[in-house]
């Protein structure tokens, strides 16, 4: 049976949380409460085979020209089968549909994202005016994007990467 992609639905939130849980326990992904997956479900796409979700990923808009690919996870039994690539490609298509110009990610999987055209960056790729607006966000992912000191223990070893969309 082939893997298919679709926008996530509220009934997928528990499966997404279960898929992400081992990665969060291992410090690879940010630990979130189940309610957060319900609240953010419209940002997610899921990869599924039959009734089983084998991967997920979210596109979180940060500003008028940039979004973050976040919470990208693939079930262990589906690693190496192209599910992650399918998800990143679909999230990038969605970013283009939204007329965004850049994609950001914070990742341990540097080679994987580099294969999709992402490159490591230093600092925060927004001007001071946007930075000041973004400081008002309560989202931990935005704090990671801004490279705030309070997020450092959660992001040690991660690489900040950016892709320019054409």
pLDDT digits 0-9 by tens, 77-125: 999 999 999 999 999 999 999 999 999 998 999 999 999 999 998 867 6
Residue 127 maps to which CATH number?
3.40.630.30
Nearest to 55 by CA among 27, 31, 87: 87
Number of domains forming the structure of the chain: 1
Query: pLDDT value at position 87?
Result: 98
pLDDT digits (tens, 9 = 90+) for 1-30: 799 999 999 999 999 999 999 999 998 888
pTM: 0.85
How many CA atoms lie within 13 Å of 72's alpha carbon, on the beta-carbon side?
A: 25
pLDDT over 80 at 152, yes or no: no
The pair phi, psi for residue 162, each rounded to 5°, is -140, 145
Q: Give the Å distances, CA to CA, from 86 to 93, 115, 166.
A: 11, 13, 19
- Mean per-residue pLDDT of the chain: 87
How buried is 33 (Cβ within 10 angstroms: 0-12 exposed, 13-18 middle, 19+ buried)? exposed
Give the range of the structural domain holding residue 77, as residue numbers without chain letter.
4-164
Residues 6+ apart with CB under 8 A from 91: 45, 57, 58, 59, 69, 72, 103
């Amino acid at each position: 049976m082939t893997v298919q992609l679709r926008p996530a639905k509220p009934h997928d939130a528990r499966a997404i949380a279960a898929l992400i849980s081992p990665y969060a326990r291992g410090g690879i992904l940010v630990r979130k409460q189940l309610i957060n997956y319900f609240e953010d479900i419209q940002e997610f796409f899921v990869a599924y085979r039959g009734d089983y979700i084998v991967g997920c990923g979210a596109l979180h808009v940060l500003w008028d020209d940039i979004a973050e690919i976040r919470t990208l996870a693939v079930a262990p039994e589906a690693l190496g089968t192209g599910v992650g690539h399918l998800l990143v490609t679909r999230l990038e298509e969605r970013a283009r549909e939204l007329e965004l110009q850049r994609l950001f990610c914070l990742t341990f999987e540097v080679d994987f994202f580099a294969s999709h055209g992402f490159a490591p960056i230093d600092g925060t790729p927004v001007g001071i005016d946007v930075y000041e607006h973004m400081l008002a966000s309560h989202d931990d992912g935005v704090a990671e994007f801004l490279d705030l000191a309070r997020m450092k223990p959660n992001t040690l070893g991660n690489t900040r990467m950016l892709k320019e969309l054409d």
